[in-house]
């Protein structure tokens, strides 16, 4: 049987839906994303999560599971943000939301510096202190986490994650769904393929193919 949204959730939506956004996920990433959304002027109406136990996440109420999303869309909620740290899940849920007719705003936290010539995709998270320089491109659902930097002409692929304190020098390319652990450095012009895992603190000095795990200074492939 289709699970319906609880009536009290309808009442909590409020009347001004122009900047109202629902957040998918109620874990650690959601905490930072919700505060970044608020910082960038969004009104977070609440979250959805697999775990239905009633709770709040930095003041945002758990509304129910993802099965309530069609009802929220019908009730006039146009915007949703996927706050799931897992790159594959984030991409999958983002595609589900687009298919369901939601728009995916970016969540931009405080003290970010984003070049007016940078291209920022849908549903991107850019957290406090991040820097994105001229002509860089950050594709849909990517995360540029706290204090990470993305220099000129870089391309960060769909649902990739540049973890806190990482630094991409100019003209670096990061493939779709690739994860760069905290404090990763990538020297200019390097290309890292899709679905890679780069260990925290690594320094990547040469190109890496798809689907590898690499770590160290300089980063070496450990498995593929």
Catalytically active residues, by annotation:
152
Pick the closer one to ligand JB2 by CB: 105 or 153: 105
Q: Between residue 129 and residue 158, which ones bind ligand JB2 under the rule CB under 6 A?
A: none
Most distant pair of Cα atoms in the chain: their distance = 56
Q: Does 27 bind ligand JB2 (CB under 6 A)?
A: yes
CB contact at 8 A, 102 and 78: yes
φ/ψ (deg, to 5) at 86 = -70, 120
Q: Which stretch binds ligand JB2 (CB under 6 A): 47-55, 128-136, 198-206, 210-218?
A: 47-55
Q: Which range touches ligand JB2 (CB under 6 A), out of 12-20, 48-56, 130-138, 192-200?
A: 48-56
CB-based burial label for 23 (10 Å; 0-12, 13-18, 19+): buried
Distances (CA, A) of 84 to 54, 130, 161, 202: 19, 19, 11, 24
Of positions 21, 24, 126, 159, contacts ligand JB2 by CB under 6 A: 24
Distance CA 120, CA 100 (A): 22
Closest to ligand JB2 by CB, 28 vs 70, is: 28
Looking at the Cβ atoms of 83 and 186, the one nearer to ligand JB2 is 83
Please list every residue from 80 through 119 that binds ligand JB2, using CB under 6 A.
84-86, 89, 93
Q: Is 2 or 50 the residue whose CB approaches ligand JB2 more closely?
A: 50
Smallest distance, Å, CB 135 to ligand JB2? 26
Please give the distance of CA 2 from its chain centroid, rounded to a whole number. 29
Residue placing its CB nearer to ligand JB2 in the complex, 20 or 153: 20
Q: Is 70 in the site for ligand JB2 (CB under 6 A)?
A: no
Nearest one of 149, 122, 123 to 136, comparing CA atoms: 149
Cα–Cα distance measured from residue 128 to residue 145, given in angstroms and rounded to the nearest whole number: 7
Coil/strand/helix, residue 76? coil
Regarding 48 and contact with ligand JB2 (CB under 6 A), the answer is yes
Compute the distance between CA of residue 174 and CA of residue 162 in angstroms, rounded to an integer: 9
Question: Least CB distance from residue 15 to ligand JB2, whole Å?
Answer: 25
Helix (H) or strand (E) holding 96: helix 87-99
Nearest approach, Cβ of residue 222 and ligand JB2 (Å): 21
Establish if 50 lies at the interface with ligand JB2 (CB under 6 A).
Answer: yes
Check residue 52 for interaction with ligand JB2 (CB under 6 A). Answer: no
Among 5, 20, 22, 30, binds ligand JB2 (CB under 6 A): 30
């Amino acid at each position: 049987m289709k699970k319906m949204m609880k009536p009290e959730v309808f009442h909590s939506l409020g009347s001004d839906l122009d900047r109202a956004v629902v957040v998918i996920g109620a874990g650690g990433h959601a905490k930072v994303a919700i505060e970044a959304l608020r910082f960038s002027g969004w009104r977070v109406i609440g979250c959805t999560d697999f775990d239905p136990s009633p709770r709040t996440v930095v003041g945002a109420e758990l509304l129910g599971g993802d099965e309530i999303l069609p009802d929220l869309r019908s009730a006039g909620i146009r915007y949703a943000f996927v706050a799931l740290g897992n790159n594959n899940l984030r991409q999958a849920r983002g595609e589900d939301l687009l298919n369901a007719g939601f728009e995916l705003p970016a969540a931009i936290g405080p003290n970010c510096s984003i070049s007016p010539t940078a291209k920022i995709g849908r549903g991107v998270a850019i957290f406090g202190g991040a820097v994105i320089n001229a002509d860089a491109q950050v594709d849909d659902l990517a995360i540029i986490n706290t204090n990470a930097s993305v220099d000129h002409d870089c391309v960060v692929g769909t649902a990739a994650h540049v973890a806190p304190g990482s630094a991409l020098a100019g003209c670096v390319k990061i493939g779709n769904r690739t994860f760069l652990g905290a404090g990763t450095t990538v020297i200019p012009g390097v290309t890292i393929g899709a679905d890679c895992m780069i260990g925290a603190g690594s320094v990547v000095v040469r190109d890496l193919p798809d689907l590898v795990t690499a770590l160290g200074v300089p980063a070496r492939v450990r498995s593929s």
